[in-house]
Chains A and B, each alone.
Chain A
């Protein structure tokens, strides 16, 4: 720093004292820590957690019409569907709905692209697992994880 010797000493003493006073002032302020396991953060209404199938109130079953929109749009190839057409009707029917949370990037494109709003975001953010296989969820039977 281009300043004469005594100027530097002056600036030095002044700034050191001001800095120390400020950090002492903050020492007595209320900490902002949220102690995670004991206190949990209030999750925002629109939080995009891991996806789950919505239950149709009348039929009590999921609303998915097996159009594979979500499977095609997913940039991370996280959704895999198993679809069969029972001999009776020509309409396709969803057998199994898998989402791999290891690949899912929570971007929400699948929920936007679904024509019948069959899937929605839950507020689950604690999806850590011990093994990769547990990350692959089957949505149409167990609903989503632990909400």
Chain B
């Protein structure tokens, strides 16, 4: 069989950079034999905007809106990491109320990101309806964001020492209506999704072992799907996460189905967190007095946050001026995607779409 292969000319299929299911401009060159993938090579850089070089010519305050534009689906978690790093440098701790507002906003953002993921994942497998049921729920979250932060997606809501505006009573009413509706909607979506066809397409596919998780530095639902308990809210508690009790859902086998299961349970966990946080919301100021001109003292600052895709770290090196000397992002999708070249060979082309979907990447976040 070996010498036969050389005669036959290899058949390369280019998945991307313009392809309906690469969630952005990612290109995977698949060497294919019929439907079976022999080897794959991921090509990055189509959405590279050189933001780390740009950051060296922008002040800390001007970099704030850029933080929403990496992972536009969970933008406030990015703002949180950036603001956290600066607060650590300046030694400012936001008031209690601001911390709880941040937890509420962050968890709502995580839910919105998982909603988009579930919809897009099922869209890749060919089912259109779950996408719209789930987007209806996501639409309500975006309305809540517009109510409080002023923008639906690129919110620019966090600032050093707290948040720009306070929570309005209208927002609290919207949250209650949303929480009443969401548990029932998720059950309906689950019943619709988990048909025999879905289970056949997704179970026992794209196994990620525990050893792979450590070797490739995978974090977030991709790692938790394989049973490794890694969640920055628990391992490196920041803000007021210690005061809120929530569990971390874990998978067992680490196949696409477990990653799907983990994310669906995470949506419910985030809803519980929001419920508790709204209950515990204290009165008082929503922002600390922050300096008008931000100058970080010299030194290195690193702040890690649990974004919807995994551990997100902001590394700031400042030389005392108003502009960062070096700004680096430890991006979860960058590490999570690096395992794709190990997962794809041996599967069919339809599986490539399912595996890539289950790893849940956002390309502008990877290419920076």
Contact = CB atoms under 8 A, between A and B. Distances in A.
Interface of A: 1-2, 8, 11-12, 15-16, 18-19, 22-23, 25-26, 32, 43-48, 73, 75, 105-109, 112, 121
A1 to B, nearest CB: 4
B199 A15 contact: yes
Contacts of A121: 150
Interface string B50-72: 00000000100111111000000
A12 B129 CA distance: 19
B192 interface: yes
Nearest to A25: B188
A109 B168 CA distance: 21
Nearest to B196: A12
Nearest to A107: B65
Given A1-B200, A12-B196, A108-B150, A22 B191 contact: yes
A8 B196 contact: yes
B151 A15 contact: no
A44 B147 CA distance: 5
Chain B interface, >50% SS class: helix
A25 to B, nearest CB: 8
Given A26-B133, A46-B147, A75-B65, A1 B199 contact: yes
User: Interface size class for chain B?
Assistant: 20 to 34
Given A44-B146, A46-B147, A23 B129 contact: yes
Given A11-B196, A23-B192, A46-B165, A109 B150 contact: no
Contacts of A75: 58, 62-63, 65-66
Given A48-B151, A106-B151, A109-B61, A19 B195 contact: yes
Given A8-B196, A22-B188, A107-B156, A44 B150 contact: yes
Contacts of B168: 45
Given A15-B195, A107-B154, A73 B61 contact: yes
15 contacts: A11-B199, A18-B191, A23-B192, A26-B129, A45-B147, A48-B150, A75-B63, A75-B66, A106-B151, A107-B65, A107-B154, A108-B150, A108-B156, A112-B164, A121-B150
Nearest to B59: A73
Give 4 nearest A-B pairs by CB, closest first.
A107-B65, A12-B196, A75-B62, A1-B203
A2 B195 contact: no
Interface of B: 58, 61-66, 129, 133, 136, 139, 143, 146-151, 154, 156, 164-165, 168, 188, 191-192, 194-196, 199-200, 203-204
B150 A46 contact: yes
Contacts of A112: 164
A18 B199 CA distance: 14
B61 A2 contact: no
Given A1-B203, A43-B146, A73-B62, 4 more contacts: A18-B191, A44-B146, A46-B165, A112-B164
Nearest to B191: A22
A53 B199 CA distance: 58
B229 to A, nearest CB: 25
Nearest to A121: B150
Contacts of A8: 196
Given A1-B199, A75-B58, A109-B64, A15 B194 contact: yes
Contacts of B148: 46
A1 B156 contact: no
A55 to B, nearest CB: 22
